[in-house]
Every structure is written in C-alpha cells, then in structure tokens.
Amino acid sequence: MSTIVAPSLLAADFLNLERDIYMLNRSEADWIHLDIMDGIFVPNLSFGFAVTNLLKGVTQKPLDTHLMIVQPEKFTEEVAATGSTFMNVHYEVCPHLHRVVQQIRGKGMKPAVTLNPHTPVSVLEDILSELDMVLLMSVNPGFGGQQFIEQTLGKVARLKKMIEERGLKTLIQVDGGVNLQTGRKLVDAGADVLVAGSYIFSSDDPEEAIRGLKAL
Ligand code: DX5
Ligand code: ZN
C-alpha cells in the first residue's frame, strides 16, 4: 500500500482557499486534513464549521477532521454534517473515550484518537480494536511549521507492534513537521498516513511535494 497523504489546510492561503482546494483536487493527495482549535486545549484558534462546511461542495477528497478542542463529543453532529470521513479526537480531553468513539461511529464516521507527544501509546491498549486510526502528534498541537519531535519514531514502531499483535487494520497517522526526510523515517517505522501542512503549501510546486510524500 502506498503512503496515504493528507495535506493540512491550516497552511493553505485563506485569501485563495478555492484555488488551493482545486490544487488539492488535481493532486495525488488522498484526504484533506482539517485542524479545528479552541484556544483552550491548544493555545491558538483556527477555523470552524463555517469554513469546513464549504468543502463538500468543492472537493471529492475524504475529509479528516482533527479536533484540538475540549469536549469534542459536543460536535459529532456538526462534524458529520461537513461530510467528514474521519473524526479525530484527542485522548487527553476524553475521560469517556469509549463512549465518544461509539458516538462518532453512530454518526457514520470513522473514529480516530490522537495522542499528544508526551502521551504513551500504551493508553490505547483497551480501545485500539475500536479505532480506525490513531494519530500520533509529532509536534505539540496548535501551530503549523514546528520542528518534528524525533521520539515519535519509537512511538510509531511500538504502536505498529500493538496493532500487528492484535491482528488489527488500524491506520497509524502522524502530524507535525512532516517533510521528505521525516516522512521517510516515519514510513520506515510503520506510519500509514502522513499529514503535512507547511512542507506542501510553502513549496514552489505543492503538487510535486505531495507526489514526493506519496512515493515514500
Ligand atoms: C498542528 C496541526 C497540524 C499542522 C501541521 O497542531 O495539527 O495538522 O497543520 O503543520 P506542519 O505540517 O506545518 O507541521
Ligand atoms: Zn492536525
């Protein structure tokens, strides 16, 4: 299976958002990754449903919504209404994670759980079989353009082992500081899905940057 590439819209040019979405449509990108922030769980705000609701009219690419917010369970209905395929919630904000995962599936979406850089993969032992994907943050969430945290590579390998031991098909996604060099190491360690924002959108040829990541 070739690497799944999910460009993060956070790094797009919001004055030319339609142009950037058409670029993604033409490209080999597999999904579009949407970063929603609340200024509470993470020290930044991004965009909300007013923006993400517009996408289903202009792209056929599956949407992957990464909620960096407290109480994400309040918004399953809204995320489903955007046409999102994946709803990604942080482990650190869900005391009743099992229930949230069921709620996401109940709305017809695929549940994914995100771990901050300091959160060990072992916390997922008893929920892994319920998940379609695990997102390992390779930067502290809240901003694009940060430096990749190398310890993520060991986490990817440990999570891969947990998935294989259980005979599961759970995807491993990594988000933050992904470029051709870090992407190569991540794929070698067992990552299935690479999220990349600034590497793609600050490139002179974003379509070529996407092609490069896909070929890893
Ligand atoms: C960070 C977001 C990422 C971000 C990645 O909090 O979750 O999706 O857009 O940006 P880069 O690829 O620039 O590190
Ligand atoms: Zn993200």
129 in helix, strand or coil?
helix
Residue 37 Cα: closest atom of ligand 1: 6
Mean pLDDT for 29-56 is: 97
User: From ligand 1's centre to the CA of 143, what distance in Å?
Assistant: 6
- The residue whose C-alpha atom lies closest to atom 10 belonging to ligand 1 is 144
- Tell me what the pLDDT averaged over the chain comes to: 98
Could you give the angle at the alpha carbon of 187 between the alpha carbons of 31 and 169, nearest 5°? 65
Mean pLDDT for 1-23 is: 96
Sign of the four-CA dihedral 154, 160, 163, 166: negative
Closest CA to 136 of 164, 117, 112, 122: 117
Q: What is the architecture of the domain spanning 4-214?
A: Alpha-Beta Barrel (3.20)
Question: Domain spans of the chain?
Answer: 4-214
Residues with CB under 6 A from ligand 1: 8, 10-11, 33, 35, 66, 139, 141-146, 175-178, 195-199
Closest CA to 149 of 182, 184, 191: 182
In the prediction, which pLDDT does 69 show?
A: 98
- Angle in degrees, 0-180, between the axes of helices 206-214 and 17-26, rounded to the nearest 10: 40
Residues 213, 180: contact at Cβ < 8 Å?
A: yes
Mean pLDDT for 127-139 is: 99
In the prediction, which pLDDT does 50 show?
A: 96
Q: What is the DSSP letter of 147?
A: P
Residue type, 112: A
168 in helix, strand or coil?
coil
In the prediction, which pLDDT does 61 show?
A: 98
100 in helix, strand or coil?
helix
Decide if pLDDT at 1 tops 90. no
Mean pLDDT for 9-26 is: 98
* Rounded distance between C-alpha atoms, residue 36 and residue 30, angstroms: 20
User: From ligand 2's centre to the CA of 136, what distance in Å?
Assistant: 10
**Predicted confidence band of residue 112 (pLDDT cuts 50, 70, 90):** very high
Residues with CB under 5 A from ligand 2 (ion): 35, 66, 175
pLDDT tens per residue, range 54-98: 999 999 999 999 999 999 999 999 999 999 999 999 999 999 999
In the prediction, which pLDDT does 76 show?
A: 98
In the prediction, which pLDDT does 8 show?
A: 98
**Predicted confidence band of residue 160 (pLDDT cuts 50, 70, 90):** very high
**H or E element at residue 137:** strand 133-137
In the prediction, which pLDDT does 45 show?
A: 98
Mind telling me the catalytic residues?
35, 175
Query: In whole angstroms, what separates CA 36 from the centre of its chain?
Result: 11
Residue from 5, 9, 10 to probe ligand 1 pocket by mutation (most atoms less than 8 Å from CB): 10
